[in-house]
């Protein structure tokens, strides 16, 4: 959380909240740092979390604050690249850094390939479905699926996260395939196809395929893979949430 002009800073007594503390309007961003290696045999530590925290506060956070104060154009990939450079002294090494620009959009950069970023954007669609396998008896279907086997179906507000790797445009410093293009493709291939539909009755994809969350994630991946590849994006994973407690990622 970076306070804007007019907000007050009271320090960082609440380690779960923003730093510095703010009671006015602010820019919310969240940075995730991932390290990989073998934990120390004695301490059980992989890395001292305090060391990460100190580097972030002293070397990474000021990059964003300076950009806001000076009006410097700082594309997210450039910020992630500078963050990886600032964290290069950590041991074990940082595998990736990810920037949450909104609760629904994440941009991630891996230290092994800093010429690309991974865009993770979330979407929502509402649909009804019935879990039913015609190969099984009515009794067995009821045993397996319970209320989800209701003959008239039931509905969910599905959430879907699409993760696509894209190259960085050397001229602009921005992802070569922008979030707007990603959203267009997902809307065309998934949202417009499934939103406010009964999946079993209104779609060809699930006319004979049981619309479990596993199958929905797999079908969405299949629908998106070629269109994203055609614009230069590599589809990594598709995650579908049927409820806040039930989700599936394909491929695993």
The domain over range 1-111 is classified in CATH as 3.30.70: no
- Long-range CB contacts for residues 6-14, cutoff 8 Å, separation at least 24: none
- Over the stretch 45-68, which tens digit does the pLDDT of each residue have? 999 888 888 888 888 888 887 877
Domain extents in the chain: 1-111, 119-252
Q: Which of 59, 122, 43 is nearest to 94 (CA)?
A: 59
- Residue 219 pLDDT more than 50? yes
Measured distance CA(48)–CA(19) in Å, rounded: 20
Active site (annotated) includes residue 242? yes
Collect all residues with Cβ–Cβ distance below 8 Å to 191 and sequence separation of at least 6. 123, 125
- Over the stretch 169-212, which tens digit does the pLDDT of each residue have? 999 999 999 999 999 999 999 999 999 999 999 999 999 999 99
Measured distance CA(151)–CA(148) in Å, rounded: 9
**Which candidate in 35, 148, 198, 234 is catalytic?**
148
Annotation: CATH topology of 119-252: Tetrahydropterin Synthase; Chain A (3.30.479)
- Over the stretch 53-111, which tens digit does the pLDDT of each residue have? 888 888 888 888 787 777 777 899 999 999 999 999 888 899 999 999 999 999 999 99
**Which candidate in 32, 124, 154, 196 is catalytic?**
196
Measured distance CA(134)–CA(74) in Å, rounded: 55
Cα atoms in the 13 Å half-sphere on the side-chain side of 59: 16
pLDDT confidence of 241, banded at 50, 70, 90? very high
Active site (annotated) includes residue 148? yes
pLDDT confidence of 4, banded at 50, 70, 90? very low
Helices (H) and strands (E) in the chain, counts: 8, 10
């Amino acid at each position: 959380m970076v306070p804007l002009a007019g907000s007050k800073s009271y320090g960082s007594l609440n380690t779960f909240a923003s730093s510095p503390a703010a009671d006015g309007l602010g820019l919310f961003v969240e940075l995730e740092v991932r390290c990989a290696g073998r934990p120390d045999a004695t301490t059980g530590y992989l890395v001292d979390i305090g060391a990460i925290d100190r580097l972030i506060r002293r070397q990474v956070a000021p990059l964003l604050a300076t950009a806001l104060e000076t009006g410097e154009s700082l594309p997210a990939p450039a910020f992630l690249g500078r963050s990886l450079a600032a964290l290069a002294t950590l041991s074990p090494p940082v595998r990736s850094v990810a920037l949450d620009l909104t609760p629904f959009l994440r941009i991630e950069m891996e230290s092994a390939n800093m010429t690309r970023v991974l865009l993770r954007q979330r979407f929502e669609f509402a649909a009804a479905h019935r879990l039913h396998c015609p190969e099984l008896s009515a009794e067995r279907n009821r045993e397996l699926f319970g209320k989800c086997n209701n003959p008239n179906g039931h509905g969910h507000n599905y959430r879907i996260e699409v993760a696509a790797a894209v190259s960085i445009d050397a001229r602009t410093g921005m992802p070569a395939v922008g979030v707007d293009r990603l959203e267009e493709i997902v809307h065309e291939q998934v949202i417009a196809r499934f939103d406010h539909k009964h999946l079993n009755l209104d779609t060809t994809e699930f006319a004979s395929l049981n619309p479990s969350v596993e199958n929905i994630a797999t079908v969405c991946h299949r629908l998106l893979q070629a269109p994203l590849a055609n614009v230069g994006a590599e589809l990594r994973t598709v995650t579908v949430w049927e409820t806040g407690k039930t989700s599936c990622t394909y491929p695993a």
